[in-house]
A and B are shown apart, each in its own frame.
Chain A
Amino acid sequence: MIRFIFKGLLRDRHRSALPIVVVVTGVFLTVFLQCWMTGILGDLVDFNARFTTGHVKVMTKAYSERIEQTPNDLALVGTTALTASLEKEFPDMEWIQRIRFGGLVDAPDAQGETRSQGPAVGWGIDLLSGDSKEAERMNIRKSIVRGTLPAKSGEVLISDDFATKLNVVPGDQITLLGSTMYGSMTVYNFKVSGTVKFGSGALDRGALIADLHDVQLALDMPDAASEILGYFKTDVYDKELAAASVTRFMNTSDPNDNYAPVMMSLRDQNGLSSMVDYMDIVSAIFIMIFVTAMSLVLWNAGLLGGLRRYGEVGVRLAVGESKGHVYWSMVMESVLIGLIGSVFGTAMGLLLSFWLQKHGIDASAFMKNASMMLPSVFRASVTPESFYIGFIPGLFATVIGTALAGAGIYKRKTAQLFKELE
């Protein structure tokens, strides 16, 4: 039966071509939209996790309350012991120390006096210990425009735009002017080993990345850090597991001590919780509306297909085919059309999505002045859901449409059929 119907579809292109094109188009758009929305949301969360929030973050209570000022006078102390304790208590996560700081970067002239200067946003991260994954996590190696990663103490990376503004090149000396953990002034010389471009306006304006130990020396923060970030060893953010870790950690934290370490999950930082929830809802509504609209279109296509073949059904009934057989053959036909259309549409949607997952769309030109931590290259993301979501409008809506239109077959009267044929 299926083979017969399939042959019929192949041989009578008038009957199959348009419905298949409509189904392919609808399914393609549905799959692509789902991948695109998932990709943008995922990128946003991932970007924030890698650069600022971690999957969870430990800092002092006082620091967490004024985190936007990166107040290093309120930083964690005794971080070696604290990190060791976190590694023991939460072995499913990798724990890393970071120092975030602000300051002024000054480039000297030949006499050692100020030639150019500009405000910098700095990161002290573990770059020089052999087993550190920080350079990979922050995608630094791939972001290098000129020069190399710092290979020894005293070397630093700065953003390429910042280097251009200061008129410095790899090999030049720069001076960081900032505040120590105890509020004193610090003036510390670095050698620029390379320049980087992350593709985020907020980072590319004035980023400075140095080894954690150098920054500890510069800011007088021995065995101290602004924050300790935890990343799941699977590299995937697990909302429930992160929340459970936070609850477990906070049970041991003293709420009355301003310098007691507190833990926050990714969702609790940078307003990501409300933003992720909002985007989740918006994207779900958007996809639902789209799937519903596509379902209606394809349902209608099924209905129209049924009505268009009014004459054919009449002839088939007139020559003695049973109503049930005609009906089920039409439903089977729509199942085949839906399946073929959904498979092709999903394949096309996935192909484009895979391409955009790899290459992305560069929106940096529109984000030069963005102050939020946003990636400037937006990518699609193919998820297991992407492989079946297109079948909802593609297969089910088409079949239901045909099934409803086909119900009219049972209302046809034999006497009228002959009259119609005349």
Chain B
Amino acid sequence: MMKKLLIFLALVPVLLTAQNPSAEKILEQIDRNMASKSRVLTATMVVHAERGSRTMEMKIWSEGDKKSFTEYLSPARDKGTKMLKLDDQLWMFSPSADRIIQISGHMLRQSVMGSDLSYEDMMDDRKLTDIYNAAVIGPDNVDSRPCWVLELRAKTDDVAYYMRKMWIDQERNTPIKEEWYAKAGKLLKQTTLSEVKKIEGRWFPTKMIYKDMLKTGAGTEFIINEIKFDSPIPESVFSKASLR
């Protein structure tokens, strides 16, 4: 009896480790779900500011993590505003001023169209495994769905958030909640991802709520109305000529 107990105790850490998949494996599974060669989507962004809400509609074309083109379709004030991201550069075209403006430096930390997302958040599409050391810190439940909690700590200095916590749906391998922290441990942003749908054979969250914890207001909703994966996008879309 005693011998059996000792063997069991010796195996406990092994059994526990076996229950928790490795962080790298979880991130790979997320990538399989979320990453694609290209995407074309239409979305609605609702910014809940302190004095009321604003709704914007946009169409986004993206290829890998380096190229992205966004056109705002409404409201009238923002209609025709376009943004082009190529590698680590970002340009914006404003039809009212008829200008192409490069967004750089400290401006990248500013909010995109008054939302809870910054240009930097929008720009940083590097693979999480490239910039963070990940570890599984345990299981949890979010909205009655079992999930793994991942803690990611920055490998490099050029990241906007030193630490991230991700809650990953164990069954669907999609993130359902994220918290982004500063080096001092202060919570800077929170994201909840919901309305996960099976699209083209993959689970994909179609509603995200971003909350900048340093801003007042009730956060920014980003709702994907339509999304197509891996459809060919003409190279001309990702050029400065398409901004005007």
Residues of A within 8 A of B (CB): 62, 73-74, 104, 106, 108, 112-114, 117, 119, 175, 177, 179-180, 182-185, 187-189, 220, 258-259
Contact, CB under 8 Å: A104 / B107? yes
11 contacts between A and B (CB under 8 A): A73-B51, A74-B51, A106-B101, A113-B102, A119-B107, A179-B111, A183-B114, A184-B54, A185-B78, A187-B99, A188-B97
Cα separation A259 to B50 with both chains bound (whole Å): 10
Cα separation A185 to B102 with both chains bound (whole Å): 14
Contact, CB under 8 Å: B47 / A183? yes
Cα separation A185 to B101 with both chains bound (whole Å): 13
Q: Which residues of B contact A104 (CB under 8 A)?
A: 107
Q: Which residues of A contact B52 (CB under 8 A)?
A: 182
Is B159 an interface residue when CB atoms closer than 8 A count as contact?
Answer: no
Count how many pairs of residues, one from A and one from B, have CB atoms less than 8 Å apart in the complex: 76
**Known contacts A179-B114, A182-B114; A187 and B50 CB within 8 A of each other:** no
Cα separation A185 to B97 with both chains bound (whole Å): 12
Q: Which residues of A contact B97 (CB under 8 A)?
A: 175, 187-189
B99 → A minimal CB distance (Å): 5
Name which residue of chain A comes closest to B50, CB basis.
A73
Cα separation A268 to B232 with both chains bound (whole Å): 61
Is B200 an interface residue when CB atoms closer than 8 A count as contact?
Answer: no
Q: Which residues of A contact B182 (CB under 8 A)?
A: none
Contact, CB under 8 Å: B100 / A183? no
Is B9 an interface residue when CB atoms closer than 8 A count as contact?
Answer: no
A60 → B minimal CB distance (Å): 10
Is B236 an interface residue when CB atoms closer than 8 A count as contact?
Answer: no
- Which of A106, A185, A188 is close to B81, meaning CB atoms less than 8 Å apart? A185
Q: Which residues of A contact B113 (CB under 8 A)?
A: 183-185
Chain A CB within 10 Å, residue with most, of B81, B101, B240 = B101
**Known contacts A119-B106, A182-B51, A184-B54; A113 and B100 CB within 8 A of each other:** yes
Contact, CB under 8 Å: B77 / A220? yes
Q: Which residues of A contact B194 (CB under 8 A)?
A: none
A136 → B minimal CB distance (Å): 32
Contact, CB under 8 Å: A175 / B101? yes
Is B144 an interface residue when CB atoms closer than 8 A count as contact?
Answer: no
Q: Which residues of B contact A189 (CB under 8 A)?
A: 97, 99
Is B94 an interface residue when CB atoms closer than 8 A count as contact?
Answer: yes
Is B98 an interface residue when CB atoms closer than 8 A count as contact?
Answer: yes
Cα separation A119 to B49 with both chains bound (whole Å): 24
Contact, CB under 8 Å: A114 / B50? no
Name which residue of chain B comes closest to A102, CB basis.
B110
Contact, CB under 8 Å: A114 / B100? yes
Contact, CB under 8 Å: B101 / A183? no
Q: Which B202-244 residues have C-beta < 8 A from chain A?
A: 240
Name which residue of chain B comes closest to A115, CB basis.
B102
B237 → A minimal CB distance (Å): 19
- Which of A74, A177, A182, A259 is close to B101, meaning CB atoms less than 8 Å apart? A177
Contact, CB under 8 Å: B50 / A177? no
Q: Which B58-80 residues have C-beta < 8 A from chain A?
A: 77-78
Cα separation A189 to B92 with both chains bound (whole Å): 15
Q: Which residues of B contact A117 (CB under 8 A)?
A: 101-102, 104-105, 107
Cα separation A112 to B104 with both chains bound (whole Å): 17
- Which of B54, B99, B114 is close to A112, meaning CB atoms less than 8 Å apart? B99
B119 → A minimal CB distance (Å): 11
Contact, CB under 8 Å: B99 / A183? no
Contact, CB under 8 Å: A114 / B78? no
Cα separation A259 to B51 with both chains bound (whole Å): 9
Q: Which residues of B contact A106 (CB under 8 A)?
A: 99, 101-102
A315 → B minimal CB distance (Å): 85
**Known contacts A112-B100, A220-B77; A74 and B114 CB within 8 A of each other:** no
Contact, CB under 8 Å: A112 / B77? no
Contact, CB under 8 Å: A62 / B50? yes
Q: Which residues of B contact A184 (CB under 8 A)?
A: 54, 77-78, 113-114
Contact, CB under 8 Å: B100 / A187? no
B212 → A minimal CB distance (Å): 12
- Which of B54, B92, B110, B112 is close to A182, meaning CB atoms less than 8 Å apart? B54
Contact, CB under 8 Å: B101 / A114? yes
Cα separation A142 to B96 with both chains bound (whole Å): 34
B151 → A minimal CB distance (Å): 31
A397 → B minimal CB distance (Å): 59
Name which residue of chain A comes closest to B104, CB basis.
A117
B3 → A minimal CB distance (Å): 68
Contact, CB under 8 Å: B111 / A183? yes
Cα separation A187 to B97 with both chains bound (whole Å): 6
Cα separation A259 to B216 with both chains bound (whole Å): 14
Q: Which residues of A contact B78 (CB under 8 A)?
A: 184-185
A73 → B minimal CB distance (Å): 6
Q: Which residues of B contact A74 (CB under 8 A)?
A: 50-51
Cα separation A389 to B96 with both chains bound (whole Å): 63
Q: Which residues of B contact A182 (CB under 8 A)?
A: 49, 51-52, 54, 114
Contact, CB under 8 Å: B49 / A114? no
Name which residue of chain B comes closest to A188, CB basis.
B97
Cα separation A183 to B77 with both chains bound (whole Å): 12
Q: Which residues of A contact B106 (CB under 8 A)?
A: 119
**Known contacts A74-B50, A106-B99, A108-B99; A187 and B94 CB within 8 A of each other:** yes
4 further contact pairs, Cβ within 8 A, besides A117-B102, A187-B99:
A114-B100, A117-B104, A182-B52, A187-B92
Q: Which residues of A contact B77 (CB under 8 A)?
A: 180, 184, 220
